[in-house]
Structure 1
Amino acid sequence: MQQKIYKHVNYLWDEDKANSLMGDEVALLLYRSNLLGADLRITNYGGGNTSCKTFDRDPLTKEEVEVMWIKGSGGDIGTLTKSGLAALYVQRLRALENVYQGLAYEDEMVALFNHCIFELDSKAPSIDTPLHAFLPFKHIDHLHPDAAIAIAAAKDGKRITKELFGGTIGWVDWQKPGFDLGLQLRDCLAQNPHIRGIMLGSHGLFTWGDTAYDCYVNSLDVIEQCAAYLESNLGKKAPIFAGKKMDSLSKEQRLKQAAAIAPLLRGFCSQERSMIGHFTDSDAVMEFINSNDLDRLAPLGTSCPDHFLRTKIQPLILNLDKDADLSDIIALKEKLSPLFEGYRQMYQAYYESCKHIDSPAIRDRNPVIIIYPGVGLFSFAKDKQTARVAAEFYINAINVMKGAEAISEYTSLPRQEAFDIEYWLLEEAKLQRMPKAKPLSGKIALVTGSGGGIGKAIAKKFVMEGAVVLLNDINQERLDVVKEEFVATFGKDTVEKAILDVTSEQQIEAALATALLAFGGIDIIVNNAGLSISKPLEEHSEKDWDLLYDVLVKGQFFMSKAVAGIFKAQGIGGDIINIVSKNALVSGPNNAGYGSAKAAQLHLSRLTAAELGPYKVRVNTVNPDAVISDSNIWSGGWAEGRAKAYGIQIEELPAYYAKRTLLNEIILPEDIANACFAFVGGALQKSTGNVLNVDGGIAMSFVR
């Protein structure tokens, strides 16, 4: 087959790969789905659906039956695997029409899908199942392409679809997905037997084919034609979004403003639960938010159900000058507070005016999408992936508005229709089935020196418990390796990285800005970066002394000072954990510089706890001892120095340290990580100024 050339979509079909799957229609369905889901212009994360119909042997009757394989509830076609599919008897699905009682009983039909399951290990069938079942085609795509939805959401969308495709694409008016919509698709095909697809008003596109490849190419062809039509009309009727209202700040200035305001926005959005942020200033975003039409179009909300489910009914627009001075936190909060309160009142009124007697309780009233004209777009959600995806969906919505306005007039769903999707009992049931949030979900941590040893173990523990983490280290190569490891293990949305020397206020500011732009704020700082020098008093140089105090004491001071302002801006409290040492409490030989620096760290922790307590910031200390595994502390002669001080060989150190403890235990980085989690995991919310020894039990280091 000859590769087709497209301008507005990506043709990704690999003939050799597809040939290797021939004979396995389900594998070809997955291959096609993953290709389509790889292009955000074609469908969004978690949006759309794909299916194929095959013949198989009924395990009980041994008769040949038709089986439909379709993306299950809550899946994503871009990452779809066989375990994410539902497999159902086609004949049984179609027979459900015999018991269907009409629109008032739509939701009852979903439970009946379970009586149609062929593959017992199937994913739960989605609400889109009947839409595919009542169409006779072997392969079907239901997608949410920006270009197609722009036509579907246009005031004259039905007419434009007919004229653009010469009657080869059918049209079904907007209706909430469900059993009746499946019947409408069947009727549309019956009335127009020669069509190759159906446009769903305000919603999306259905296309099909006899083979996986035919279906794939048909989908691309229709989307390409829609996109080319939109492009040919851009700017003809009127300037895009009625023209530019303002210019953007420079890229550097945008990032500076975004980092400055992010923690305040996050604080407002986290009044009901802790949120993670995402920031984007892409060209598509800036064109829209700097336009004359922003104030007219943004309040209309989105059209496609998948869009507003993730972005809320409308965004919040900040009435701030793009280059406003954001340094006065108190004044800025006073200016922003009425905006957020106004949004919450709008959302409450929307809920009250649209709710039904059995509607789920109102959810978080704070905005998901926040627009700062001239600067960029922020999104806030329960985790980084959800926040990022929300921003992606809103960009899809921007593209839809842009296209619809170019050819006609953009129309959004009526608010009642939007509410009925957002507070659909089936959606609520899906939310209730989601796993319970982890203890650190919604939390953002920065662990200094997290390229290895104790710092890496703490960062790993925090991510495992639901947090996102800014990894950092003074060594770029070491930092790159650990980030790759975390991404491979936990996913790209769990970590970001920044080079960081804690003795440099400039690098601290840059690292915190990275965290603010990546995640929206900071909840936890772990001052872990350190080094050790063990020498007799008379051999200690001024350089040794200054290095120890610069990294350990000044580094902790700089980090705590820098993050205090962020904590105050957010107004939702926070945690500082200082990794000190049993040497802060125990006197020993060859330890004047290190031990006294650790003592300074310990008392600085107490002083910081006293000062930041009124802001609900907890400051606590973990005192490790002899954590040898994967630690930089044992390089540079420290291990040799300690072995010499104790009159033993270096290789005897782990056993020596264990034997001198009350528990006779070797201390590992994971032990320190567990201690840190104890302070931030939710059980010690009213504890500050504490010292937790993790040294196996050394009586001399007991806090007296």
Structure 2
Amino acid sequence: MSSTHPEVAALLARSHELGSDPRNTNYAGGNASAKGTDTDPVTGGDVPLMWVKGSGGDLGTLTESGLAVLRLDRLRALVEVYPGVDREDEMVGAFDHCAHGKGGAAPSIDTAMHGLVDAAHIDHLHPDAGIALATAADGEALTEECFGDRVAWVPWRRPGFQLGLDIAAIKEANPQAIGVILGGHGITAWGETSEECRRNSLHIIRTAERFLAERGKPEPFGPVVAGFEPLPEEQRRRRAAELAPVLRGLASTDRPQIGHFDDAPEVLEFLAREEHPRLAALGTSCPDHFLRTKVRPLVLDLRPDAELDEVVARLKELHARYRKDYRAYYERYADADSPAMRGADPAIVLVPGIGMFSFGKDAQTARVAAEFYRNAINVMRGAEAVSTYAPIDEAEKFRIEYWALEEAKLARMPAPKPLATRVALVTGAGSGIGKATAQRLSTEGACVVLADLDLDGARAVADELGGPDNAVAVRVDVTDEEQVAEAFRAAALAFGGVDLVVNNAGLSISKPLLETTVADWDLQHDVMARGSFLASREAARMMIAQGTGGDIVYITSKNSVFAGPNNVAYGATKADQAHQVRLLAAELGEHGIRVNGVNPDGVVRGSGIFAGGWGAQRAKVYGVPEEELGAFYAQRTLLKREVLPEHVAAAVFALVGGDLTHTTGLHVPVDAGVAAAFLR
């Protein structure tokens, strides 16, 4: 097995250090490279190579497999066949013919910069302080004032082969320089060793930070506007949870989106200041920023204490205007070769006093869009502190947003999973059927909110599913109206809303009629009948606000139609749930909300209900050992098979996965065939 090349090991270590600090670069932004020699497996001789972060990778988590490996001599030979800036995109395809060895990541557009600049190690980064100088109206003069002749200025040019040639020429003409500020974009630094390159990158970034802090004016965003200050935290987050599903529905006009809410201090401070409307309208500048955040955000122009109905109405007006303006932007710059317009909805919505809502094809994309806009706020603050913020012009933004290379990159993305962009809330998700259902929905692409009385159990499942970009856990007693509402607020803040609710929380107490107490009766009806009613009501409220339809699934039981022995309270409450399915299907159909049920037989293995005493009680009723109860249930079915949690989860997915779009009010038996429970 081959070991890691020393230059690669140094490159990865440097990348991890630089990429782990958001002051240095944003997520998946920038790239780093190293040059060296290795043995040619064919000739046995030395071959000059370059290792560079591939397209789409993240410096902070970069692995060797995320590097593109190229023959340096072949890459530099491309200069001789370069057809000029008008055809520079053709050079990207040529990078593939410079590849060395098997596999490796796809080379990024910045590969030419790393290959053509004569330095053994190169970093290209997007630090907020560096971009602040890069986007200042007098950025070139400020760069000289800040760094002297140690850092050169490169006028804005779209990333590509010509930019690589430009930087190579500037380095050759300025041997004393350790790097450059790229107008409108970021920084590039170099060194003959990995350590020297790291030091130079950090020197540029920290020097720029000090320069902005020492030379900048104290209130670059202007004075606070009375009435636009942040609301108190609890009030702010409640209002955010009310607005999130409305905004998510608007942002999903062209295609479904996942949402994210961010009320970081720098966001709230920016939105409270006088200059935020002007600056937001200018949009972001660094290509990595506006590719994630779109050309500009939608900004609400009302005070945060305005009535909710007024805010919602105004957001709808502003959204319609945003879509009109975006289409006009597309039509101003598109030509016959431009990709089709990808969607006219905003990726960022700014609400003064409340915070920022961001949207994307999945939770990570939505979250990262918010992070990028926070970077943009920091950039605007720095530029305005020492000059005037002057991002690249709109035509250049369009050239990158609708770049054929960017379109090709998007086309290489894997097809979305069936439940991608859907948010599911599952009650009783910490164990048994709920856990299996949450796992299946997550596997199929959904973001999942795991609601359970046992918060530790729900958190363990959330961790298994990959953490907060995939799943979040909330403690919920489903009998408590406020706790149920709070669970849905948590879903709105985490993912923008809810599309799919599984009413699974339950328990059971098996007793004959004469031994069943009022407390037994009330507890089971409170958890299952009342609990599913409360969850369905909150689900309907949120889905209607989104305006995009949805699914509600009840995990009922064969006992909703089968009269089992010594089971009056459980059977009655399951029948209640079963009829809720029919009632809500009839009521909510006009909103595109489908309501269905799943009727399992007793699910013994992995069940919290059975482990909590129900199994022992039912085993006693049937006169079998508790450990044989699952086998006993199987033998009384037509298929002679035991029902497991994953079988119930599969039925839930069948109902919500996209094939049964015209089915509502249905109960699906998952009981291996219990004739007495056949639906009539």
Deviation at 1:604, TM superposition (A): 1.2
Task: Give the 5 Å matches for 1:609-648.
Answer: 609-648=585-624
Task: Report how far residue 656 of structure 1 moved.
Answer: 0.8
Number of the residue aligned with 2:381: 402
Q: Equivalent residue for 2:206?
A: 224
Q: Report 1:575-586 matches (<5 A).
A: 575-586=551-562
Distance in 1, Cα, partners of 2:90 & 2:509: 71
1:132 corresponds to which of 114, 129, 140: 114
1:468–1:494 Cα contact (<8 Å) kept: yes
Q: Conserved in 2, the CA contact under 8 Å of 1:26 and 1:52?
A: yes
Is residue 557 of structure 1 aligned with residue 533 of structure 2?
yes
In the alignment, which residue of structure 1 is the partner of 2:679? 703
Is 1:659 matched with 2:641?
A: no
Hey, what's the Cα distance between the residues in 2 that align with 1:607 and 1:41? 55
Q: CA deviation at 1:333?
A: 4.5
TM, length-normalised to structure 1: 0.94
Match of 2:193 in 1: 211
Indicate conservation of the 8 Å contact 2:229/2:352, yes or no: no
The aligned residue for residue 241 of structure 1 is: 221
Q: How does 1:273-292 map to 2 (within 5 A)?
A: 273-292=255-274
* Residue aligning to 1:356: 335
- In structure 2, distance between residues paired with 1:76 and 1:636: 46
CA distance in structure 1 between the partners assigned to 2:553 and 2:563 by the alignment:
23
Do residues 70 (structure 1) and 30 (structure 2) align?
no
Deviations 1:123-179 (A, max 9, x none): 111110010111121111100000000001111111111121111101111111111
Say whether the 8 Å CA contact 1:450–1:473 is kept in structure 2. yes
* Whole-angstrom distance in 2 between the partners of 1:207 and 1:22: 24
Q: Which residue of 1 aligns with 2:168?
A: 186
Q: Report the secondary structure of 1:241's partner residue.
A: coil
Structure 1: which amino acid aligns with 2:55? S
What pairs with 1:141-220 in structure 2 (closer than 5 Å)? Answer: 141-220=123-202
Distance 1:98 1:216 in 2: 31
How far apart, in 1, do the equivalents of 2:147 and 2:602 lie?
Answer: 74
Which residue of 2 is the match for residue 17 of structure 1? none
Q: What SS class does the counterpart of residue 221 from structure 2 fall into?
A: helix
Residue in structure 1 matched with residue 427 of structure 2 by the alignment = 448
In the other structure, the counterpart of 1:606 is 582
1:421 maps to 400
- Pair 384,549 (structure 1): closer, same or farther in 2 beyond 3 Å: same
Structure 1 position 22, deviation (Å): 10
| Aligned 1:278-427 pairs, distance under 5 A | 278-326=260-308, 328=309, 333-427=312-406
Amino acid at match of 2:526: D
Report if aligned partners of 2:156, 2:185 keep a CA contact under 8 Å in 1. yes
CA contact (8 A) 2:602 2:633 kept: yes
What is the aligned partner in structure 2 of residue 15 from structure 1? none
Q: Is the 8 A contact 1:523 1:574 kept in 2?
A: yes
How much does 1:287 deviate? 1.4
Q: Cα gap change, 1:332/1:287 in structure 2, threshold over 3 Å: closer, same or farther?
A: closer
Match of 1:668 in 2: 644
Structure 2 Cα separation of the partners of residues 23 and 107 of structure 1: 31
Is the contact between residue 302 and residue 311 of structure 2 (CA under 8 Å) also seen in structure 1?
no
1:58 CA drift (Å): 1.9
Distance change in 2, residues 1:23/1:306 (3 Å): closer
- Write the letter of the residue equivalent to 1:600: D
Aligned-residue CA RMSD in angstroms?
A: 1.3
Deviations 1:279-303 (CA, angstroms, capped at 9, x unpaired): 1111111111111001111111111
Distance of 1:592 and 1:283 partners within structure 2: 55
Q: Which letter does structure 2 place at the counterpart of 1:430?
A: K
Instruction: Name which of 498, 523, 526 aligns with 1:547.
Output: 523
Whole-Å separation in 2 of the counterparts to 1:320 and 1:690 = 45
Q: How far did residue 23 of structure 1 move?
A: 6.8
CA distance in 1, matches of 2:200, 2:313: 54
User: How many Å apart are 1:702 and its aligned residue?
Assistant: 1.0
Residues 522-531 or 288-297, more deviating: 288-297
Distance in 2 of aligned mates of 1:481 and 1:345: 45
Give, in whole Å, the separation in 1 of the partners of 2:616 and 2:397.
69
User: 1:103, CA displacement in angstroms?
Assistant: 0.9
Partner amino acid for 2:570? Y
Aligned pairs (5 A) from 1:579-598: 579-598=555-574
Identify the match of residue 495 of structure 1 among 471, 475, 486. 471
Q: How far off its partner does 1:244 sit? A: 1.3
1:140 is paired with a residue whose SS is strand
Higher mean alpha-carbon deviation, 117-126 vs 517-526, is at 117-126
**Residue 436 (structure 2) pairs with residue 436 (structure 1):** no
Kindly indicate whether the alpha-carbon contact (under 8 Å) linking 1:285 and 1:376 is maintained by their aligned counterparts in 2: yes
**Structure 2 counterpart of 1:244, which letter?**
V
SS in 2 for 1:637: helix
1:649 corresponds in structure 2 to 625
Measured after TM superposition, the shift of residue 646 of structure 1 is: 1.5
Q: How many residues align?
A: 676
The CA deviation at 1:233 is 2.4
Q: Distance in 1 between matches of 2:297 and 2:172?
A: 41
Which amino acid is 1:228 matched to?
A: R
* Mapped pair 1:485 → 2:467: no
* Cα shift readout 1:577-633 (whole Å, capped 9, x = no counterpart): 000000001112111110111111101111111111111100000011111122111
CA distance in 1, matches of 2:176, 2:379: 28
Q: Deviations over 1:454-502 (max 9, x none)?
A: 0011111111111101112101332232223223xxx430011110010
Q: CA deviation at 1:367?
A: 0.2
Question: Does the CA contact (< 8 Å) of 1:86 and 1:119 recur in 2?
Answer: no
* 1:507 aligned onto 2:483: yes
Tell me the distance in 2 between the aligned counterparts of 1:528 and 1:101.
Answer: 64
Aligned-partner residue type, residue 172 of structure 2: A
- Counterparts of 1:698 and 1:320 in 2: how far apart (Å)? 59
1:332 Cα deviation after fit: 5.3
Q: Distance in 1 between matches of 2:233 and 2:373?
A: 21
Q: Secondary structure at the match of 2:521?
A: helix
Query: What displacement does 1:558 show?
Result: 0.9
Q: Which residue of 36, 39, 54 corresponds with 1:54?
A: 36
Matches of 2:671 and 2:325 in 1, distance apart?
Answer: 55
Secondary structure at 1:587's aligned position in 2? Answer: coil
1:602 alignment partner AA: A
Q: How many Å separate the matches in 2 of 1:652 and 1:564? A: 41
Contact 1:534 1:637 in 2 (8 A): no
CA contact 1:529–1:551 (8 Å) conserved in 2 = yes
Aligned letter for 1:549?
H
3-state SS of 1:142 partner: strand
Contact 2:455/2:473 (CA < 8 Å) preserved in 1?
no
Q: Indicate conservation of the 8 Å contact 1:280/1:376, yes or no.
A: yes
- Unaligned residue ranges in structure 2 (runs of 5+): none
Q: What does residue range 449-464 of structure 1 map to in structure 2 within 5 Å?
A: 449-464=428-443
User: 1:547 Cα deviation (Å)?
Assistant: 0.5
Supply the distance in 2 between the matched residues of 1:208 and 1:436 (Cα, whole angstroms). 38
Question: Is 2:243–2:312's contact at 8 Å kept on the other side of the alignment?
Answer: no
Deviations 1:620-668 (CA, angstroms, capped at 9, x unpaired): 0001111112211113431122112222221221111111111111111
